[in-house]
Chain A
Amino acid sequence: MDINVCNGECNVMSVIIAVIIFLILAPLVGGLISGADRIITARMQSRVGPPVLQPFYDVLKLFGKQNLVVNKYHGDYVLCFLIFTILSGCIFFGGGNLLLAIFALIVANVFIVLAAYCSNSPYALIGADRELLQMLSAEPMLLLTAVALFQVTGSFNVSEIIKTNRMPFIYLPGVFIALTYILTIKLRKSPFDLSTSHHGHQELVKGLTTEFAGPSLAYFEIAHWYETVFMLGLVYLFFANVPILGVLVVIGVYFIEILIDNVNARFKWELMLKSAWLATLILGVGNLFLLYILSF
């Protein structure tokens, strides 16, 4: 089977340039978003907060720490998580197939679950179980987003979706809202920070990441930056024909995520699964169904 990365229309060079720009810029943007997130969170709690470059200091420090791995597979799985997360971003920002990018992200998530399972720590095991539940809650909506964008633009290729002259949001408001709902799960924010609790001194310690130390944790952080940029890119696609509006909406959506993060306690997994599937079913599928009826 031939997977046509760019549908043969744009040349290979522009894809390579886009991928290189993504590889360099995504961690910078992701890190800055994370830094701004921490400052805004601190301000919401009437604190001053760390400098905006703090996430970079943290990661650079972690590379200087001793790498405590539990067994020889542990570190490799984390590395695979990073590689596949980057790959999914490359497919997306290289203008490739949206479904392929989402599947690569799912594979990456599977690797981080394997990394947690192989450590055999009780906290990491709970984190891994919950990560699987988070995937179960979020992935249907991610796939539905790709299908919905196909319905409106007639293509799964990101390079063609952004060339559309119709604004997908006007046709898919329900899908957009459902996507922002599960975005909280993918960004590992409260009330859905079930697998990697944001603050370590709780019942879960650090969940999934409890056993990662030093460079392994740094890889996890960097992968999370790439993941954040990829997810925000997905939000941007809904406003792809008006770039300025797209960027403003991305900023707005992320601010709302921070707000939700700060005003919510952690949900139980049943509530997460039920509410995420309800949002997918009613807002996502319902929107597509309406679109189908109205198109006649």
Chain B
Amino acid sequence: MGFFKKSPWVLHYDGSSCNGCDIEVLAALMPKYDIERFGIINTGNPKHADVFLITGSVNSQNIDVIKNLYEQMGEPKVVVAVGACACTGHFFAECYNTLGGIDKVIPVDVYAPGCAARPEVIIDAVVKGLAVLEEKKKNKQK
């Protein structure tokens, strides 16, 4: 019990982001922020991941990919929407091919706003997600 807080493994997926948020996610992994201090690892594998970090909005091309990745992750899992596009669709929301934020497809637990979201906000969002992860684990055991 309680070890989800100490070792959250992240799966990072770029929906249709402009790469601004992705660069900030990568910045969080780099020496300046070094999120491995908290045991956070960027796994490229949904089966190993606990936190699903999505940047960018949902469109008709990536909707299946997002659903597929979400379903491949083992319970308990948390979805973090990083950046304004992932939260609401932002200024792409009205586009003909954009469906909107990530929550149109899969349940989102934590929203990290910003354009682009700052590394501090991303780290904060993942840490908030960990509390949700522990809660889900507890509910599952009940």
Contacts and interface: CB of A to CB of B under 8 A. Distances in A.
A50 B37 contact: yes
Interface stretch (B3-11, B58-66, B106-114, B115-123): B3-11
Interface string B45-84: 1011010000000000000000000001011100000000
A214 B44 CA distance: 15
Contacts of A211: 47
A58 B34 contact: no
B75 A66 contact: yes
Contacts of B90: none
- Which of A38, A58, A67 has the most chain B CB within a 10 Å cutoff? A58
Interface string A49-71: 11100100110110011111000
Contacts of B37: 47-50
Contacts of A68: 47, 72, 74
Interface in A175-222: 199-202, 205-206, 209-214, 217
B69 to A, nearest CB: 12
A260 interface: no
A278 to B, nearest CB: 33
A199 B4 CA distance: 20
A45 interface: yes
B31 A58 contact: no
B136 to A, nearest CB: 11
Interface residues of A, number: 32
Nearest to A123: B45
B48 A200 contact: yes
A48 B48 contact: no
A48 B43 CA distance: 19
A61 B4 contact: yes
A57 B39 contact: yes
Given A46-B31, A201-B42, A212-B47, A61 B6 contact: yes
Contacts of A66: 74-76
Q: Is the interface of B mostly helix, strand, loop or mixed?
A: loop
Interface residues of B, number: 25
Contact of B44 (A38, A47, A48, A201): A201
Contacts of A25: none
A65 B43 CA distance: 15
A232 to B, nearest CB: 24
A200 B39 contact: no
A200 B31 contact: no
B1 interface: yes
B47 A210 contact: yes
A214 B74 contact: yes
Interface of A: 38, 42, 45-51, 54, 57-58, 60-61, 64-68, 199-202, 205-206, 209-214, 217
Give 7 nearest A-B pairs by CB, closest first: A201-B44, A200-B44, A66-B74, A57-B6, A61-B3, A213-B47, A200-B43
17 contacts: A42-B34, A47-B37, A50-B36, A51-B39, A54-B6, A57-B3, A57-B7, A58-B39, A61-B50, A64-B1, A66-B76, A67-B74, A68-B47, A200-B45, A202-B44, A210-B45, A210-B47
